[in-house]
Amino acid sequence: MERFDAVVIGGGAAGLGSAYRMAENGMNVLLIERGENVGEKSVYGGRIYSWVFEKYVKGFQDAPVERWVKKERLTFLDERESVSIEYSSDETCSFVAILTKFNRWLAEKVEDAGGLVVSGIKVEDVRLNPLRVVADGEEIGCDAVVIAEGVNPMLAMKLGIRSDWKPEEVAVGVKEVFKLSESEVNSRFDVESDEGVANLFVGYPVFTHGGGFIYTNRDTISVGMVVRVDSAMKNKIEVYDLAEKFRAHRDVAGFLKGGSMIEYSAHLVPEAGIKGVPDALHKDNVMIVGDTAGFVLNRGFTIRGVDFAFYSGVLAADSIKEAMDGGDAGLAGQIYERKVRDSAIIGELEKFRKALDVLENTRFFNDYTRMMVEIMRGIFDVKEESNRLYDVVMEKSRGRKIRMALDFLSAFRGL
């Protein structure tokens, strides 16, 4: 039986983070990816917060960054109109990347550091006592296993580390990528070649839990929608046409004009914040990281997943090393548990526990989004006569001022 210090299951951001860190620390690590090519099963919206890569990855300046986000835009959409808030700055903390390409680059870093990466092989089982991984009919022995299998926790469920997601705990995202030219992207979004835009949308066409997005890649644009699975079920939303409906809106279509679609993709996103994280993140020396553990934070205007995924992989790697250095490799799972609970991952998810209640409130996705548009229409509509801001706001909020005040206060506190 072949033997490794650790086996990492899954070649997404979490698994690659874990394998990279272990390889860098001189450990004998094997990463197994089910896709024919490493990283090809990953799908996300488009933006990565850079801090964790700057902190842990040597040579990060050579990463396949599409554009650094210099403009953040939040848009409220009704059927025909929109209101946008834009924040523009020279400072940046995030970049747009094609995740499959970014993963491939990370896999090269793992191999450069001496880690072994194999793809096209699906892990069938993880067995305890003694710990081993079953893949391709063979058993591979190891001291620790890091499960980075993504949002569908097939192995983690089998091992009883976590339960399955309920429809209200995950959202389905659909994405279309459009080819343009670099100069077209620059002029349409009013940015320089290395600058990018992250635009999130609330309201149309779902007017419920979820929203749209546009991210500027170098010479392509990613556009799509996310909707919580329970809301899609309840409202009978035809998810297969969601991205098409969204991009048909006049304030989305303009960005894509003349571009040709080059790929369509779909993926689930953990949406339950801290409530989606299981009580225990390990069983013996098997640890769960990334989406498998539910490490995604949605605050409505920012969504973090890839940085937490990579970071949790690093923490798992460090726990395995610490346990091995201490002479009892079997303690890695417990050390990981403590490290994650003490880290910014759980810290942030806890801090924004109340954001879950805010984002549960459909009035933000429907009533208040429409109201925002109507107020703007009211004040900008100038004919012979025009409206006072006060009168417009009073009229639009008639009969629901207390409800609104409470809702906005909850958003102010929670987000």
Partner 1 sequence: MESIENRLGLVSFTVDSEPHIRPKEEKCDSCNLKVCLYVCPAKLYRLEEGKIYFNHEGCLECGTCRVACPEDLEWEYPKGGFGVHYQFG
Q: Which residues bind partner 1 (CB under 8 A)?
A: 34-37, 39-44, 98-100, 119-122, 135-136, 151-152, 154, 164-167, 170, 172, 174, 176-177, 220, 222, 229, 232-233, 236-242, 244-245, 248, 261-268
Nearer to partner 1, 97 or 316 (CB): 97
- Contact between 356 and 275 under an 8 Å Cβ cutoff? The reply is yes
Q: How far is the CB of 170 from partner 1 (least distance, A)?
A: 6
Q: Which two tokens stand for residue 116?
A: 């072994």
* Distance (Å) of CA 339 to CA 38, 287, 334, 351, 388: 27, 12, 9, 17, 56
Spatial distance between the Cα atoms of 73 and 47, rounded to a whole number of angstroms: 13
> What distance in Å separates the CA atoms of residue 265 and residue 123, rounded to the nearest whole number?
24
Smallest separation (angstroms) from partner 1 to the CB of 294: 13
What is the closest distance, in whole angstroms, from the C-beta atom of residue 304 to partner 1 in the complex?
17
Residue 140's DSSP bridge partners are 2, 133
Closer of 100 and 199 to partner 1 (Cβ): 100
**223, 212 in Cβ contact below 8 A?**
yes
Whichever of 39 and 211 has its CB closer to partner 1, that residue is: 39
Q: How far is the CB of 84 from partner 1 (least distance, A)?
A: 24
Closer of 37 and 410 to partner 1 (Cβ): 37
Q: Distance (Å, rounded) from C-alpha 408 to C-alpha 62?
A: 43
Residue (10 or 115) nearer to partner 1, CB: 10
Residue partners of 326: CB distance under 8 A and separation at least 6: none
Least Å distance, CB 123 to partner 1, is: 9
Tell me whether residue 118 or residue 409 sits nearer to partner 1 (CB atom). Answer: 118
Contacts of 149 (CB under 8 A, 6+ apart): 9, 10, 123, 155, 156, 292
Start-to-end Cα distance in the chain? 51
Nearest distance, CB of residue 399 and partner 1, angstroms: 34
